[in-house]
Amino acid sequence: MTDGARPIRYSATTHVGRVRQVNEDAILALPDQRIWIVADGMGGHAAGDFASQTVTEAVAMLPADLPPGDLMRQLRGAILGAHDIIRAEAAARGGEVIGTTVVALILSQDHFAALWVGDSRIYRFRNGRAEMLTTDHSLVADLVLAGEMTWDEAEHHPQSNAITRAVGVGTELALDKVHGALEPGDRFLLCSDGLNKYATLAQLEALVPGAPIETLADRLMQLALDGGGADNISVIVVDVG
């Protein structure tokens, strides 16, 4: 796929895992709009997949060929609109908790931007080094930011699944944003926590930079399955030429 002068390639996959009966993750790739999304739903009675799919369906309706600034504003609006739909569904079900994480990547010719809420992640690989661009909205993230543990150690904490922010939960939704310049050879990894529970930063740094894009998403999914696959697994890898 071409974005201005920059060729863009990607691979994506999602898997129910080895334990769960339903895949409550949803992924979306819109290369023409330069948008990629991973959403990890939560809630009983098929509510998690409803939440994650509500987000991806809202974003999939965005018009094509928008300028980058308009695209970002409409993406944010689509996620906020999904938040209201999910809250209404939760109220209709008697007030049960229904929600989803979201991590969304947008690429323009020279820049990237990302929106996120919850503990799905974006990593950037540049010159062989890995950098986590997002910060989890979770109880254990506060411990990491306080210097009490590393992100890898946080995955084994008893409250590692306790997120503090989600689409569909609470009255107001606060989306965090990160942006920066693109460089040729940048590789982005979007994933649900079904991957990072089993892949340390060092493992990702060893595997991701040199692997062929065509098979990388499947290789990362297999890494999580081989580690136990206790959660749904979603992976999107995006390369910038």
Give residue-wise pLDDT tens across range 2-48.
445 579 999 999 999 999 999 999 999 999 999 999 999 997 767 99
Q: Per the domain annotation, does 64 fall within a domain?
A: yes
49-59 average pLDDT score: 97
What predicted TM-score, i.e. pTM, was given to this entire model?
Answer: 0.93
160 assigned to some structural domain: no
Paired tokens of 164: 């503090």
Q: Given pLDDT bands bounded at 50, 70 and 90, which one contains residue 77? A: very high
Domain containing 204 — which CATH number? 3.60.40.10
Within a domain: 106: yes
Distance CA 209, CA 187 (A): 7
User: Using CA atoms, how far apart are residues 118 and 137, in angstroms rounded to an integer?
Assistant: 5
% the chain with pLDDT above 70 = 97
60 membership: H or E segment, kind and range: helix 47-60
- Whether residue 149 is predicted with pLDDT greater than 90 in this model: the reply is no
Is the model's pLDDT at 155 over the cut of 80?
Answer: no
Q: Which residues of 15-24 are buried (b: 16+ CB within 10 A; e: fewer)?
A: bbbeebeebb
- Write down the pLDDT at residue 1: 41
Burial label, 181 (beta-carbon count in 10 A; 0-12, 13-18, 19+) = exposed
69 assigned to some structural domain:
yes
Is 209 within a domain? yes
For residue 71, what are the domain limits? 2-134+168-240
pLDDT at 170: 94
Total of domains in the chain: 1
Confirm whether 27 is domain-assigned: yes
